[in-house]
Structure 1
Amino acid sequence: MTMLKLRRPDWLEEMHGFLLIALVISGLGVLAAAGYMLTGQPVDIEVATGGALGSTALTGLPPGTSLDSPVHLEVTDPTTAQSAWAAAAVLPRLLLVTTALFLLWRLVGRARRHGPFAGEVPGRFRVLGLLLVLGGPLVWLLDFGARTLLSNSVPGGETYAVLDFSVPVIWGLCGFAMFTVGEIVRRGEVMRADLDGVV
């Protein structure tokens, strides 16, 4: 009776394929978002409830109940500026994610072909980390500014845009994780070179 042997998974190969799928989906998302927003399609805009709805806008509410921000308005015929601001609130983030996925896909591919201690692998981790640490907060600020301008563009409404400070922290953690992995690989490369010298 012969025993069936299970193939040992090659996690680098699996990750390389997964990253390619994610990269294609992200790239298509960028194209779809750009096509939608830059062709004058309806734009969703958030405004504060104070200017958009008065205290008597809704009837029959229990005592002590009030409307909370934001109100989502759909502008069916946006101006060029509104379409541009809507694009600026979404596209930079999608482009950053797509670029990071592309760099990580190339990095994993190089590690598969030449081994984890190939000379360029630690440096590529550092480049990816730098992209996330610097690009993440920049995209976050662009997103906030674009949403502020977009909200301010609706007559009768009050500007509404939330500055979520957890977003740059997450980008920073991802970036420093890449720095850490790159440093681990670099130190492993140094130890390997030392061992080769001893042998």
Structure 2
Amino acid sequence: MKWTRDWLRDLQLLIGASMVVFAGIIVFRLVSVFAGGAVCAGIVGAPVDVAVTGLRPGAQAADTAAVCVESPSVSQVMLMLLHDGPALVAAGIAAALLYRIVRDARRHDPFTATTVRRLRQLAWFLLVAGVVVTSAANTSSGLLLHTMVERGTAPNQAMWTWLFVAVGVGAVAEIVNRGVALRAELDTVI
């Protein structure tokens, strides 16, 4: 008997492992911050006062720096959590939704209206989460930076990655939807 690899099982294991990693990162961030860890914010356009040694010819130090507070206030901790937390939580939720899709595709027929609906829901979730996560990160990083310096601009995050993944998942949903339609058409012929 020829052995065939169960790629959906492997994918399901990988997604499950990523969910554990996301949970671990969230716990680590919470413990490190509440245990008295430093809170840092990036600043764009900072004068480089520190000499960087070992640069290769043609390379130069950037004008972006990190500003850290060793004993952060409660508001600084909350702003840092608002900066980091939503992305981790959204990624964990997206992984859980994808896990359910892969699990059901493995147990049953993957070309069903339910799979299409869940893939579309995941695509919309990723799109909305991208907007929320990016807005929260950009707003909180600016506010956090202004608790540490009088002037300066925090680097902004772009939501291109979230948008690209959402469109990709939406495209897969439409491909599966086409497979569902072709199967239904084939069933009427036979």
Q: Is the CA contact 2:126–2:165 (under 8 Å) kept in the aligned structure 1?
A: yes
Q: Return the alpha-carbon distance in structure 1 between the equivalents of residues 35 and 131 of structure 2.
A: 28
Of 162, 178, 185, the match for 2:155: 162
Q: Return the alpha-carbon distance in structure 1 between the equivalents of residues 31 and 151 of structure 2.
A: 29
In the other structure, the counterpart of 2:189 is 198
Q: Which digits, 9 at most, give the CA deviation of each residue in 1:69-89, with x for residues without a partner?
A: 333232111011100111111
In the other structure, the counterpart of 1:32 is 28
Q: Return the alpha-carbon distance in structure 2 between the equivalents of residues 130 and 58 of structure 1.
A: 45
In the other structure, the counterpart of 2:179 is 188
Report the secondary structure of 1:160's partner residue: coil
Supply the AA of the counterpart residue of 1:190.
A
Q: Return the alpha-carbon distance in structure 1 between the equivalents of residues 188 and 65 of structure 2.
A: 67
In the other structure, the counterpart of 1:7 is 3
Supply the AA of the counterpart residue of 2:5.
P
1:75-114 correspondence runs (5 A): 75-114=69-108
Q: Does 1:49 align with 2:49?
A: no
Of 6-15 and 108-117, more deviation after overlay is shown by 6-15
The runs of 5 or more residues in structure 1 that have no matched partner are 60-65
Aligned length: 182
The runs of 5 or more residues in structure 2 that have no matched partner are 52-59
TM-score (norm 1): 0.82
Q: Is the CA contact 2:42–2:155 (under 8 Å) kept in the aligned structure 1?
A: no
Of 13, 17, 39, the match for 2:13: 17
Report the secondary structure of 1:78's partner residue: coil
Percent identity between matched residues is 24
Q: Return the alpha-carbon distance in structure 2 between the equivalents of residues 58 and 86 of structure 1.
A: 25
Task: Give the C-alpha shift of residue 58 in structure 1.
Answer: 6.2
Q: Return the alpha-carbon distance in structure 2 between the equivalents of residues 150 and 69 of structure 1.
A: 19
Supply the AA of the counterpart residue of 1:32.
F
In the other structure, the counterpart of 2:116 is 122
Greater radius of gyration (CA): 1
Q: CA RMSD, aligned part only?
A: 2.3
TM-score (norm 2): 0.86
Task: Give the C-alpha shift of residue 115 in structure 1.
Answer: 1.4
Q: Does 1:175 align with 2:175?
A: no
Q: Return the alpha-carbon distance in structure 1 between the equivalents of residues 180 and 107 of structure 2.
A: 16
